[in-house]
Chain A
């Protein structure tokens, strides 16, 4: 195991994970909102925000899928050491991390069942930029409309059609975080 794998965890897990979760919760409850989270620092290409999310939400109970450039030894070791999460194929994952094109096709991921729509994957999408502009969002959590620089629109429109099944998304860029639950209408 590389020594680097031991670095980059929370210095004060109870406090830092509480603060990161509150930001993640506000983002999931208010699609389009952009927040900053920090505390985790996984190996490249993982951003600070994605590292912090993984440390806050993942543990031995949550299989994680690493897509494309993220599926590398340093990152596997880091997640195994800090979160203890099993690393799995897309179809078994509760969380997945990757760039947008690496996560395709989305129908590989679990969308839940009619009885248990919560048994669905949450995708952490690493983006080069994250701005409150671009696609228009409507739905629960949004007073009228919001805007977010999504990587595309069609995939989110299709995901909305599956409701109450579907995938939920976090978007990360550096320390910036935003979210898009399955309920949001994208246009």
Chain B
């Protein structure tokens, strides 16, 4: 580990990122520009999250990485090993034991506590980007609190599909001021964003950092007659039987067979260890 500066990045870069994080926390939901560095992994693999984690980690931390809820995917494993090697930090797969959790596209099922930090990897930080391609314009729209276009988009969803069809990266309004992209988490996770932990968002390619302090008001945009619905697949988990967790659908054969399983692997494992069994768990054991 002596070949690397602690947590890979040089000190001046970390100071720049740290200043951006502090301003992000002071202006919840506002996207702070930062001078994103090239990291030893491709854009789209979480370079923003990695830079925020590098600026946040201390040697005393226990680090967890999830990719769509799973600790054991390529992306999660490689980022975890990266900070094991360059920072010498302890790592874990258990949500409750982690002090810093880097995530791609999920919030853990287990409620996060004070003292924990959740770092999101963000591909497109600007919630208005697909409606207005110009950065100059979207910045002006945020400055003027001009968010009518976003409601038009949700309204068009309703007129076309009968309901708001946006299922992930569902836009939220923070403390009644900034409309924010929660990163591509399922809308099922949106209500969890009012939590006791600090949430930091890093977009490497787009060079933006934003943040939510604990206990910050985060409201999913909706209409009075079409209230926000944090829906999920109407099944229990086939492995652990949980009825309250977000599920992945897995195709198991070429005859239409399928199963539903918790996307949060740590939550599912902990439940199975506690003796909970789902529909297909017995076959799994055999």
- A residues whose Cβ falls under 8 Å from a Cβ of B: 13-15, 17-19, 21-22, 24-26, 28-30, 56-59, 61-62, 114-118, 120, 122, 140-143, 163-164, 168, 181-183
Contacts and interface: CB of A to CB of B under 8 A. Distances in A.
Interface in B33-58: 33, 55-58
Contacts of B21: 25
B58 A22 contact: yes
Nearest to B100: A22
A91 to B, nearest CB: 19
Contacts of B19: 57, 62
Given A29-B198, A29-B213, A164-B30, A56 B18 contact: yes
A178 to B, nearest CB: 14
B81 interface: no
B25 A57 contact: no
B85 interface: no
A56 B15 contact: yes
B195 to A, nearest CB: 11
A14 B10 CA distance: 9
Interface string B112-138: 001000000000000000000000000
Nearest to A94: B19
Interface string B207-241: 00001111111000000000000000000000000
Interface stretch (B139-147, B161-169, B257-265): B139-147
A56 to B, nearest CB: 7
Contacts of A13: 11
Given A26-B198, A140-B175, A122 B22 contact: yes
Contacts of A19: 58, 60
Contacts of B139: 115
B150 interface: no
B59 interface: yes
B14 interface: yes
Contacts of A15: 6, 58-59
